[in-house]
Chain A
Amino acid sequence: MTTPNTSQVDPNLKSEMQKKGIFVTTINDLYNWGRRSSVWPLQFGLACCAIEMIATACARYDIDRFGAGLFRPSPRQADLMIVAGTVTKKMAPQVVRLYNQMPEPKYCITMGACSISGGPFKNGYNVLKGIDRYIPVDVHLPGCPPRPEALLHGLIKLQEKIDGQVIEKTEWYQKGLKREFPVPEFGPNGLIPPYNPDVFTPGQSRLITTG
């Protein structure tokens, strides 16, 4: 999931010069440093995991230490969607619509077993079996609920991913990028389509990176 930092400045040289009071960086590093230090999440919670997300935002765990403490009430101002909780089939179209409304670059963390796979309610008639059926997910965060430390860990993983992105190659600056994910519709016995084939292949096992 995370690619190593591709900075072209020799780290030894960098620290050597820093000791002499000269700060050397690249545009790319500066750009990514700015982005990863101000990942503003979208303010919404869907179930019990949201309580844990709120705890992460409060004084004891203080997600603001990592620059992600400014929960935005509008998707237009948000960089990160933390899907914290059970996504019901009735709620799924709204979640996809909100993700579509976020400006690029945008990221998604699924928090908890529910938003990864349906969790304890997987066999329920009303529960979506994972939000990754409709939108691409950057960090899957297991747990029921994950502890605040785990959410911080997920955020740090996301920051590592942001660090590894290269400004010239990032997909949101490429021509013709169209990242609109179709919003599922209510059908007579569930959502239509049941998943978006562009982002999800049923039965496919995905490589999980931990650490």
Chain B
Amino acid sequence: MKSLEELKQNLESKMPGVTSVLEEGCLVISKNDWLEVAKFLKSSPLYSFDYLSSVTGVDYPDRLEAVYHLYSIEKKIGPLTVKVRTDRQKGEIPSVTPVWRSAEFQEREAFDLLGIHFTGHPDLRRILMWEGFAFHPLRKDYVAEND
């Protein structure tokens, strides 16, 4: 990977209609394009990002965000940081579990603790809290019980 700038241009020329923004060394992609972009990043012979090392959820006052770190073991490049944003009320982001299997549990964790709904996830259940827990405890507006 030469530079992020180049990757962005390459991405936009290969996939017309997709717009991405460069922000502090990260690629910000619209959630509607994310699944297609993910497939491209994995299959493109130029990059072949075959390894997703982490999926992190972040809670901001005005949005929820999922941060992905991608590496290519084949090309020995990475990490590429991708951010995908969604709204705080019932935020939805397409799941990349069909693309990278390693996303499965980490998406479940982000769903459990922050309430990001990953559409297309094969098994989106809570992973740390118990079934029947009514909240997403790592959200800033979560109020713990007074015990």
Could you tell me which A residues sit within 8 Å of B by CB distance? 90, 123, 125-126, 129, 186-191, 194-195
Instruction: Give the A-B contact count at a CB cut-off of 8 A.
Output: 32
Which chain B positions have C-beta within 8 A of A125? 137, 142, 144
Interchain CB contact under 8 A, A126 and B142: no
- Pairwise interchain contact A189-B132, C-beta atoms closer than 8 A: no
Residues of B contacting A195 in the complex (Cβ-Cβ under 8 angstroms): 147
Contact with A along B106-147 (1 / 0, CB 8 A): 000000000000000000000011111111010000101101
Q: Are B144 and A188 in contact (CB under 8 A)?
A: no
For residue B44, give the distance in angstroms from its CB to the closest CB of chain A.
Answer: 41
**B residues whose Cβ falls under 8 Å from a Cβ of A:** 128-135, 137, 142, 144-145, 147
Q: Check A90/B129 contact, CB under 8 A, given A125-B137, A126-B137.
A: yes
**Across-interface contacts of A194 in B (CB, < 8 A):** 145, 147
**Are A186 and B145 touching (Cβ within 8 A)?**
no
Q: Which residue of A lies closest to B137 (CB)?
A: A125
Which one of A125, A186, A191 has the greatest number of beta carbons of chain B within 10 Å? Answer: A125
Task: Please tell me if the beta carbons of B134 and A126 are within 8 angstroms of each other in the complex.
Answer: no
Q: Residue A190 contacts which of B128, B131, B145 (CB distance < 8 angstroms)? A: B145
Name the distance in Å between B112's Cβ and chain A's nearest Cβ. 11
- Which residues of the other chain, A, contact B147 by a CB distance below 8 angstroms? 129, 190-191, 194-195
Subset of 7 A-B contacts with CB under 8 Å:
A90-B130, A123-B144, A125-B142, A188-B134, A190-B144, A194-B145, A195-B147
Q: How many angstroms between the C-alpha atoms of A187 and B129 in the bound complex? A: 11
List 6 additional A-B contacts (Cβ < 8 Å) besides A125-B144, A126-B129, A189-B145.
A90-B129, A126-B128, A186-B130, A187-B132, A188-B132, A188-B134
